[in-house]
Homo-oligomer: A and B are copies of this chain.
């Protein structure tokens, strides 16, 4: 199951700013892709040696450096040196257990967000996506190669939309937007699971249903934990007029803000629905028990007294005059039949049948 609890104490006791990778190694070899573009030109390159980054420091246009795989500390260190990143920022990029946050460090803004996806076993996996938004560049750090930024790469290389005309702030926005857009895919998936369980609850609730509800609840908790702080991140970007963010980008930030609020709204709705479903489940268990008890009670109540009567006439007393009478037996049988029928009639009137 997707872990809510991960090992993050590895760094406890180390001095702040110590570079140590916390998280799973999700890719074998880190890959660095660089795009450099302005309105008219666009260059795309995958570099082998991290030193080549230096070439892109002072070009015209916007530079986007994307690093897939962050576990090789020396690569990160070189990028950090090249663009003058603070040791604490480097530490946070390496620690994949960050919560989404934003830090304005003057020359650049540091943003942490969480990419969420279902793995093959249908568990939610969370991947940390860190962004550095500088005056002329954006650096993005992913734990592994993902396809979520591909459409942006394509829009840049083909010059679709307004992205080529805008600055690095718009690029950063686009990357965040891609992350947030993916949340809707997650929500739909969860939503249809919830609907399935709801149908199950009405038709035939089993212990498995309760386990599925619980598992979904856990996933919702994880989702909320990853997404909730992002709202504040975008809010801060909107409000705190950084020089790195142009006014024309603000409307886009507002748009992404709306999206996140919609995501959070939906998550809260799911939570409430799952709570309601636990109530239904418990009441359906109680109902089933009621039904079982009723069957037992009806059978027992009808047959125990009759068996008692049979027991009476099974006694071996010498002087039991009824035993001698000729019509005792059919009379007894008939009266048993009547008694049983009366019982059943009583249960029917009580709505137990």
How many copies of this chain sit in the oligomeric assembly? 5
Residues on the B chain within 8 Å of A293, using CB: 289, 292-293, 296-297
Residues on the B chain within 8 Å of A278, using CB: 279, 283
Interface size on A, residues (CB 8 A): 116
Q: Cα distance A178–B5 when bound, in Å?
A: 21
Task: Kindly state whether residue A127 has any CB partner on chain B within 8 Å.
Answer: no
Residues on the B chain within 8 Å of A17, using CB: 161-162
Residues on the B chain within 8 Å of A204, using CB: 351
Contact A329 B352 (CB under 8 A): no
Contact B269 A221 (CB under 8 A): yes
Contact A7 B329 (CB under 8 A): no
A148 to chain B: closest CB distance in Å?
A: 8
Task: Kindly state whether residue A323 has any CB partner on chain B within 8 Å.
Answer: yes
Contact A310 B314 (CB under 8 A): yes
Residues on the B chain within 8 Å of A294, using CB: 292
Q: Cα distance A15–B194 when bound, in Å?
A: 30
Q: Cα distance A262–B207 when bound, in Å?
A: 34
Contact B299 A310 (CB under 8 A): no
Q: Which 3 A-B pairs have the closest CB atoms?
A: A5-B191, A310-B311, A15-B161
Apart from A16-B252, A204-B351, A303-B308: 15 A-B pairs, beta carbons within 8 A = A5-B188, A15-B155, A16-B255, A86-B251, A218-B273, A282-B286, A292-B293, A307-B311, A310-B311, A313-B315, A313-B317, A314-B314, A317-B322, A318-B328, A319-B326
